[in-house]
Amino acid sequence: MTVSCQLQYWRLYLLAVALGVGGSFQYGIQVSAIAAPAEHVKAFVNHTWLLRYQTPIEDSTNQLIWSFIVAVLSLGAWLGAVHSGSLPVKYGRKKALLFNNVVAVVAALLMLFSRMAKSFEMILLGRFLFGYNVGLGVSVHLMYLGESSPKELRGVMTLTSSMFIAFGKVMGQIIGIKEIMGAEEMWPFLLAISGVPAIVQFVVLSFFPESPRYLYIDKGDSEGGKKALQWLWQEDDLKLELEDMEKEREGVRGEPAKTVKDVLTHRCVRWQLLTLTIPCAGVQFCGINALYFYAFDIFRESGVPEEQMHYLAIGLGAMELITVTLCCFIIDRAGRKKLMGYGYLMMGVTMALLTAMLSIKDMYSWIPYLNIALIFCVICMYGFGPSGVTMALPSDLFLQAWRPAAFVISGTVNWLSLFLVGMCFSYVVEGLGQYCFLIFVVYCLFSSAFLICLVPETKGKTMVEIMEDFNKLNYKNRDIELATKL
């Protein structure tokens, strides 16, 4: 089934857009737009420090404050991911997102008025709250769509999170140029721009129903779940989906939502946990951040003028957006396993070649241009595989009772890995130079071998069928009937 021939799901597509406008799009903007006002914010910190203490701030202290402004987003996102296991369970997916939008608006106001209040601490707090908004919003976005989509479209719908992150990165790079919002007087508005999508999502999401599976399975509201499903799918014949939800509800009847400890310790989800954590860590450890870091050096070696660097960076972001979007059309045909497994494999091989070319870059004049092409190739593979598909894993791999805790784990792995890379990467580059890519090559090849050789495919299968496939791994030498009772 393709997106183009399923026009009756247009309300589901609108829900995907409404959810994507929130945390995912905001995250993309915050990641890329923060680079543009770096010098302006540092100057503001110095000016504020001078007013308070009548002495200029030391360069090392200013750099430390700026580094923390950049990195605190990851810590806030981790806290938001932790709460994605409790708030959506207690209040529902929709209410959790509505609350989350209020957090984003508060964060935007703090950063918007930080210059007027002469407080760089307001920027720190605003970035932390935006991080919380992103960590909670991305997890609940994926949870909401995964529970609202038919199995044939589940991959496409959950992939919209990656698509809106990539779209946000491109938009952040575009509005960050000097001709638009990159000028000195505009930096508070640039930092606060993410509050606008939050307001849009708050208004639009009010017209949509709660997640059908949440109503049917968690709340026991059979009629409410059926009505929500009919409204989203615009179908009267929901027999197969209702039967699948009923099987899942019977399997968890009387049991509370599982905790993170349950996911980490229970044998019945051991392979699901491995299949979740290795790719989630891989999104940060696959070398994509190193690639963006080295891109500007490679552009300079190729003779690209300094004033045009920003436009090439927009090209890199656009490449990621295009490939993630194309991935939407093939994910449910090719399958998650192939896209992730072979994506990591090709990334590892290409980065190994890039490392070799960087080592001999001065031997021939054409090598820097080849390196630019290799950078675009790696980003293309990243968009087709790891970037897009990883987002869909918690919704695919875990049943309703386990899913919120799974999102906590995936979010924790992702955001703490991002924080670790952000804090340590500069030291790795300083010590290893271009050979830092070899670390990422090893991780990519390991992830590829694990996914291709050991993990079952999930495309076109119901939640119960996926669980049965993984039970064959979790209980290789034990009674499968026992597994279904746990």
Can you give the C-alpha Rg of the chain in angstroms? 23
Q: Which two tokens stand for residue 182?
A: 């990159």
* CA atoms of 315 and 323, how far apart (whole Å): 12
* CA atoms of 339 and 350, how far apart (whole Å): 16
Topology match between the domains 9-208 and 255-486: yes
* CA atoms of 157 and 178, how far apart (whole Å): 35
- Whose tokens are 């935007």? That residue is 108
- pLDDT at position 326, please? 86
* CA atoms of 134 and 147, how far apart (whole Å): 20
- CA angle in degrees (0–180, nearest 5) for 59-62-68: 140
b/e burial code for range 56-95 (CB count within 10 A of at least 16 → b) = ebeeeebeebbeebbebbbbbbbbbbbbbbebbbeebbbe
- Whose tokens are 């392979």? That residue is 271
Give me the helix-helix angle, 288-301 and 367-384, nearest 10°.
150
* CA atoms of 460 and 115, how far apart (whole Å): 52
- pLDDT at position 397, please? 85
Backbone angles phi, psi at 397, to 5 degrees: -95, -20
Q: Which two tokens stand for residue 55?
A: 């002495």
pLDDT in tens, 218-235: 888 999 999 999 999 988
For the chain, give the mean pLDDT.
Answer: 85
pLDDT in tens, 233-277: 988 778 888 888 888 788 766 567 788 889 888 888 889 999 888
Q: What is the 3-state secondary structure (H, E, C) of the chain?
A: CCCCCCHHHHHHHHHHHHHHHHHHHHHHHHHHHCCCCHHHHHHHHHHHHHHHHCCCCCHHHHHHHHHHHHHHHHHHHHHHHHHCCCHHHHHCHHHHHHHHHHHHHHHHHHHHCHHHHCCHHHHHHHHHHHHHHHHHHHHHHHHHHHHHCCCCCHHHHHHHHHHHHHHHHHHHHHHCCCCCCCCHHHHHHHHHCCHHHHHHHHHHHCCCCCCHHHHHHHCCCHHHHHHHHHHHHCCCCCHHHHHHHHHHHHHCCCCCCCCHHHHHHCHHHHHHHHHHHHHHHHHHHCCHHHHHHHHHHHHHHCCCCHHHHHHHHHHHHHHHHHHHHHHHHHHHHHCHHHHHHHHHHHHHHHHHHHHHHHHCCCCCCCHHHHHHHHHHHHHHHHHHCHHHHHHHHHHHHCCCCCHHHHHHHHHHHHHHHHHHHHHHHHHHHHHHHHHHHHHHHHHHHHHHHHHHHHCCCCCCCCHHHHHHHHHHHHCCCCCHHHHHHC
State pTM to two decimals: 0.85
Low-confidence ranges of the chain (pLDDT < 70): 1-7, 252-255, 293, 392, 422, 426, 476-486
Fold of 255-486: Growth Hormone; Chain: A; (1.20.1250)
Q: Which two tokens stand for residue 8?
A: 């009756």
Q: What are the domain boundaries of the chain? A: 9-208, 255-486
Q: What percent of the chain shows pLDDT beyond 90?
A: 33
For residue 346, which of 365, 364, 323 has the smallest C-alpha distance? 323
Q: Which two tokens stand for residue 147?
A: 């529970």
- pLDDT at position 200, please? 93
- pLDDT at position 477, please? 56
pLDDT in tens, 303-334: 777 777 778 888 888 998 999 888 877 877 88
- pLDDT at position 483, please? 47
Q: What is the 3-state secondary structure (H, E, C) of 393-439?
A: HHHHHCCCCCHHHHHHHHHHHHHHHHHHHHHHHHHHHHHHHHHHHHH
- pLDDT at position 1, please? 46
- pLDDT at position 426, please? 67
- pLDDT at position 48, please? 95
- pLDDT at position 454, please? 84
* CA atoms of 302 and 284, how far apart (whole Å): 27
Instruction: Name residue 194's amino acid.
Output: S
- pLDDT at position 344, please? 92
CATH architecture observed for domain 9-208: Up-down Bundle (1.20)
- pLDDT at position 2, please? 45
